[in-house]
Structure 1
C-alpha cells in the first residue's frame, strides 16, 4: 500500500498527489496536519526514510525559528516537537511498504515507485 503524507496548501505536495493519481495507483492520503503522526509513527517513518530526524524538520518555518532554533535538542526531543507541531514536517512524504521518500521532486517519486 502507498501512503502520502500530504498538506494541501503545499504546491510540491499537491504535485506529488496529482502524479500518484495520474498513474492510477491505489494510495491513501493522510493529511498530517489534521491527523498528526505520533512519536512512534515518526520513529517508524525515520526508519523507512533511512534518515535522521534533522532531515525531516522544516527549519525555515517561522514556527521553528521563533520557538526552537536557539536550543539544541536530543533526537527524541526533536521527535516530540514534530509530533506536537506537525507543520514542521517536510512534505510530501510517500511511503510504500517498508520504504519512504521525501517526494519534493516528481522524478525522484517516479523512480521510487
Structure 2
C-alpha cells in the first residue's frame, strides 16, 4: 500500500495549491480535513518523526490561538505542544503530505514532490 495522504484545509491557498500539484502529477491522495478530524497525539508524533522536526516547528505561530494557549512559552515540552495541537488543530502547519514513512510540509507546494 503506497497511498498518499494530505492533511488539508480547503480554505488555505497553499493547501489547495499542494492538492492541485498532487493531482497534476496523477496522484489522488487520501484527503484528511484535519480541522474536522484532528489527528491524535500518536498520529502527530508519527508525522513529526516522518517530517524530522520538533512539535514547536510544526506550530502556526501567527494564529491568535498560539498566544492564547501560551505556546510562546519556550519551556513547553513536545508532549505539551502536541496535546494543544490535538485540541486546537488550527495550530498545525499545513498542508502536510505523507507517503510511506516520509512527510513534507507543502510550503512551498513543490517541496512535497521529493517524497513522491
TM-score range normalised by the length of the shorter chain: over 0.9
1:1-113 matches, within 5 Å, as 1-71=3-73, 72-113=75-116
What is the rounded CA distance, in whole Å, between the counterparts of 1:108 and 1:44 in structure 2? 19
> RMSD across aligned C-alpha pairs, in angstroms?
1.2
Gaps of 5+ in 1: none
TM-score norm. by structure 1 comes to 0.93
Contact conserved, 2:18 with 2:110, CA < 8 A, in 1? no
Report the TM-score, using the length of structure 2 for normalisation: 0.91
Distance 2:81 2:72 in 1: 13
